[in-house]
Amino acid sequence: MIREWEADIVLFHRPYDYHPDHRYTGVLVQDAAVLVAAPFFLPLTPPTEQNPIFIYYSDNFEKPYPTDPTIVVSIDEVSEEKWNCIRAMPSQFKDADSWGGRYLPNVPKDAQKRQEYILGVHQNRIASVADKYRDRLVELYGSEKGQKIKYAEAFELCQYGRQVSVEELKLLFPTFENGR
């Protein structure tokens, strides 16, 4: 599918996640980073003209090594769209049998209150990314804007796939004005 879409950038989990689906998807995507540009592995789908950029989502796992973000991106301008996506996935974020519904402390019994509670947990987690990488946000966005960012996502460039500079990455994220 990466070949068919001619992807410029592929975002995925690091292969050190607690969840087997995430962990093994991370391994498979790393393998794909090698194969998408190789013409003879999938002869029925042409290879990509250039290898896409492969970047990991950040996580809080420390072993075998912690996330070392290459770029940290403000999502303040699109945060409501993200919250709406979370609200649209009840099996993941609302149902009593979802991970959050079962394992977070003090989860409300009422479905609507449970959804908002779990959403709040995710909002706090994403706000904590901005706080954790505040210095990097200031470096990337400048002091005034970087200090004001409430929600952020951090990404680490995978060693497989096309290697690019931070300036090239900034061109791919619309929250940077003209790559600045």
d(CA 4, CA 116) in angstroms, rounded, equals 37
d(CA 89, CA 86) in angstroms, rounded, equals 6
The band of 175, judged by pLDDT with boundaries at 50, 70 and 90, is confident
Residues 86 and 137 in one domain: yes
d(CA 95, CA 111) in angstroms, rounded, equals 7
Residues 176 and 118 in one domain: no
65-111, pLDDT tens digit by residue?
A: 999 999 999 999 999 999 999 999 888 888 889 888 899 999 999 98
Q: Whole domain around residue 163: which residue ranges? A: 1-73+151-180
How many structural domains comprise the chain? 2
- Edge to edge, the sheet with strand 152-157 lists 9-12, 53-57, 152-157, 71-74
- Amino acid 51: pLDDT: 92
d(CA 96, CA 102) in angstroms, rounded, equals 6
Residues 82 and 135 in one domain: yes
Identify any residues that bridge with 53 across adjacent strands, giving them in sequence order: 9
3-state class of 161 per DSSP? coil
Residues 65 and 81 in one domain: no
Residues 69 and 155 in one domain: yes
1-24, pLDDT tens digit by residue?
A: 899 999 999 999 999 988 899 999
